């Protein structure tokens, strides 16, 4: 083979090799380009998906905010604070009764010789003690109502303390007396409100009817029992030295329960229960209604010694 022929073959091989290298380089570049485009496309896709999710999330939150309704009051309950409605008025009466009970509890403690702290404590216990006992007995992980609704502590303690420091001055300034009728009237409002609220708590807890009624009685009277124990006098609701008290609470609670059973709307139930409790309490005070005592001479003498004017 001639030298010229060999040179031609060598040039042809070199050209093919160069072409192959260029082809491979082109292929690698193309794959790299495709890979880069793919990564960029994936990144763009991920960013788009993230933006879409954020937009949907914002729309979802906005829809929730628009569609979310204010919590409704339970038919056997009250709004959180007083408002212009019958259940709202019941809440206002609850505050008023709390203040009234605290005042009378503080006065009784003062009459027994307790100091400022003792009168404040007894007044507060008188006001919130019945509801506390009720909540403990209902159980189911319930805490005493005043741990969630602290305004009751402020109302009770504030009224009891103000009574201790200001009652004598009020008597001189305004002519108040310890046995004024308005004190008994305010107490009657407290009994009427408390017995209905106690029955409502029993209903919401799902206890039997008799227990619902007892929840009303406890709420209205058990704070007074603790008060009487602390000042060392016979518990009022168990003795005849005063007119009927626990009976009025039971009557008001049962009136609410019966009104509910016959299908009356919540407002009329409240009016029926509070009206019955307040009405009987006022009648008992006006006409000196008392329960009978045991028909034995010693029992009558004991009742008379405690203040029962019938003997």
Mean pLDDT, residues 239-268 taken together = 95
Mean pLDDT, residues 179-193 taken together = 95
Q: What is the pLDDT of residue 246?
A: 96
Mean pLDDT, residues 134-144 taken together = 88
Is the pLDDT assigned to residue 12 strictly greater than 90? no
Read off the tokens for 17: 């090799």
Query: Distance between CA atoms of 250 and 308, rounded to whole angstroms?
Result: 22
Q: What is the pLDDT of residue 14?
A: 42
14 and 115 part of one domain: no
**What's the number of domains the chain is made of?**
2
- The per-residue pLDDT of the chain, averaged, comes to 83
231 and 127 part of one domain: yes
Task: Answer whether residue 225 is part of any domain.
Answer: yes
Q: What is the pLDDT of residue 62?
A: 37
pLDDT digits (tens, 9 = 90+) for 28-45: 444 544 454 444 443 444
Task: Answer whether residue 73 is part of any domain.
Answer: no
Cβ atoms of 199 and 78 within 8 Å: the answer is no
Q: Which of 250, 233, 235, 234 is nearest to 284 (CA)?
A: 250
191 and 49 part of one domain: no
108 and 51 part of one domain: no
- What's the predicted TM-score (pTM) here? 0.77
What percentage of the chain exceeds 90 in pLDDT?
66
Sign of CA dihedral 36, 39, 43, 49: positive
Interhelix angle for 86-111 vs 151-174, to 10°? 60
Q: What is the pLDDT of residue 240?
A: 83
179 and 30 part of one domain: no
156 and 300 part of one domain: yes
Is the pLDDT assigned to residue 7 strictly greater than 90? no
Owning domain of residue 48: 1-68
Would you place residue 272 in the very low, low, confident or very high pLDDT band (cuts 50, 70, 90)?
Answer: very high
Task: Answer whether residue 144 is part of any domain.
Answer: yes
């Amino acid at each position: 083979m001639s030298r010229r022929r060999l040179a031609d073959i060598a040039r042809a091989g070199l050209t093919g090799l160069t072409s192959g290298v260029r082809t491979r380089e082109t292929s690698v570049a193309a794959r790299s380009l495709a890979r880069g485009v793919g990564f960029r496309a994936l990144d763009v896709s991920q960013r788009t998906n993230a933006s879409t999710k954020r937009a949907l999330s914002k729309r979802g939150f906005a829809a929730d905010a628009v569609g979310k309704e204010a919590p409704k009051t339970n038919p056997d309950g009250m709004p959180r604070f007083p408002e212009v409605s019958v259940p709202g008025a019941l809440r206002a009466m609850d505050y008023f009764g709390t203040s009234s009970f605290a005042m009378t509890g503080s006065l009784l403690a003062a009459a027994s010789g307790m100091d400022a702290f003792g009168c404040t404590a007894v007044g507060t216990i008188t006001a919130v003690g019945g509801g506390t006992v009720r909540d403990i007995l209902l159980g189911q992980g319930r805490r005493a109502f005043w741990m969630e609704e602290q305004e009751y502590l402020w109302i009770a303690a504030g009224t009891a303390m103000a009574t201790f420091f200001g009652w004598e001055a009020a008597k001189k300034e305004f002519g108040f007396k310890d046995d004024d009728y308005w004190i008994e009237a305010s107490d009657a409002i407290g009994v009427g409100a408390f017995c209905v609220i106690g029955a409502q708590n029993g209903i919401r807890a799902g206890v039997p009817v008799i227990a619902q009624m007892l929840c009303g009685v406890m709420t209205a009277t058990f704070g007074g029992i603790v008060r009487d124990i602390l000042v060392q006098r016979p518990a009022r609701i168990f003795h005849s030295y005063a007119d009927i008290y626990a009976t009025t609470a039971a009557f008001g609670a049962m009136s609410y329960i019966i009104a509910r059973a016959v299908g009356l709307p919540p407002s009329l139930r409240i009016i029926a229960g509070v009206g019955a409790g307040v009405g009987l309490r006022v009648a008992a005070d006006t006409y000196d209604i008392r329960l009978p005592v045991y028909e034995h001479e010693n029992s009558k003498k004991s009742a008379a010694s405690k203040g029962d004017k019938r003997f």
